Structure 1
Amino acid sequence: MEALFKTWETSRRIYLSYFENYSLDQLNKVPNGYNNNLIWHIGHIIVTQQKLIYRGSHFPGYISDDLLVKYQSGTKPDAYIPQKEADELKTLLTSLIEPTIDDFLKGIFLNYNERTTGTGFHLSSITDAFECNNYHEGMHLGYMLSIRKFV
């Protein structure tokens, strides 16, 4: 698990760098030929991690239902994300790491809702969920690397 956590922390630092290297307008821009923007991908990976780890284990997690609905799979940006929400997403990127790892180490994730994700990952345990999350975050980082060329 230590390697999974280290990978996740590294991924989140890379995502955090987008707030440092791009303006709010650039984060919000949906380039021609794309359905999403940089900030949507950031919100989406936050929401997905909470769904995979917490909701998959029958816990509510640490994000609001409003964020969950706005950034879950199948959504796309429908409005300009203001600075206040961008700041919230920036904070959530790193602030969720410690409590999630602590919850894992406390052993709260005893029961996992076994299922197969839309991308074909079969999840039967919390470890599977962490592995899937890291894959998912890497996949969306790839999308962001493509988008950044056009903002």
Structure 2
Amino acid sequence: MSELLIKSFELTRSFVLKTVDALSENTVDVQPEGFNNTIHWHIGHILTCAEQFMFGFPKKSAHLPENYMQLFATGTKPANWQGDVPSIQELSARLKDQIIRIKEIPAESFNERLKTPFLGLETFGEVANFAVFHESNHLGQILAMKRMIETAQTK
């Protein structure tokens, strides 16, 4: 099971990184009508949530700055950003580092039962599977937003 989860993570993350690398600067901070956030926010959100799901950020992981919770956690939005906001390039580098760390998680960890179920999930493997689903969902949002922004910019 863990091998399949890691492959799913690698595949999804490779699509995220390919998409991020192809973004133009004039699209990442535009908030299209009907959307709550920007592409920039979604990229940071993917990174921050994967760190939470896979490594227990911020309590058990120091791989990301603590202010990422104020910037990218569920319920946050760019309109409220204060202080140092990481660039797309920094977020991309951290996404690349993170997938390396995810691939190093011992296979037996995925069978570990959670002390407290999360969204009805009872094992670390189930949470990891949810993390892949979550990342894919936000990739879809990024792609939809990119298309809308680019269409509006060409008119």
- TM-score relative to the length of structure 2: 0.79
Equivalent position of 2:104 in the other structure = 102
- Residue 50 in 1 paired to residue 51 in 2? yes
Say which is worse superposed, 95-104 or 125-134, in terms of deviation: 95-104
- Uncovered stretches (5+) of structure 1, i.e. residues with no partner: none
Q: Which structure has the larger Rg?
A: 2
After TM superposition, the score normalised by the length of structure 1 is 0.81
Are 2:128 and 1:130 aligned? yes
**CA shift for structure 1 position 106:** 8.1
Residues 111 and 125, structure 2, Cα contact 8 Å, conserved in 1:
no
- Overall identity of the aligned pairs, in %: 22
Corresponding residue for residue 59 of structure 1: 60
- Offset of 1:23 from its aligned partner? 1.2
Equivalent residues of 2:12, 2:135 under 8 A apart: yes
Decide whether aligned partners of structure 1 residues 108 and 45 sit closer, same or farther in structure 2, where only a CA change above 3 A counts. same
Corresponding residue of 1:25: 26
Q: How does 1:77-96 map to 2 (within 5 A)?
A: 77-78=78-79, 85-96=87-98
Superimposed CA distance per residue, residues 9-29 of structure 1 (whole angstroms, 9 cap, x where no aligned partner): 111111112333221221111
Q: Deviations over 1:12-56 (max 9, x none)?
A: 111112333221221111111211111211110111111112218
Rate the CA distance shift 1:26–1:14 in 2: closer, same or farther, 3 A.
Answer: same
Q: How many residues align?
A: 145
Q: Is the 8 A contact 2:53 2:131 kept in 1?
A: yes
C-alpha contact (below 8 Å) 1:50/1:61 kept by paired residues: no
Structure 1 residues 50-88: Cα deviation after superposition (integer angstroms, max 9, x where no partner): 1112218x62252121112210111111259x9952111
Write the distance in 1 (CA, Å) between the matches of 2:18 and 2:138: 15
What do residues 117-146 of structure 1 show as CA deviations (whole Å, max 9, x unaligned)?
3xxxx2222101110101111111221222
Runs of 4+ in 1 over 6 A off after TM superposition: none
| SS at 1:28 equivalent | coil
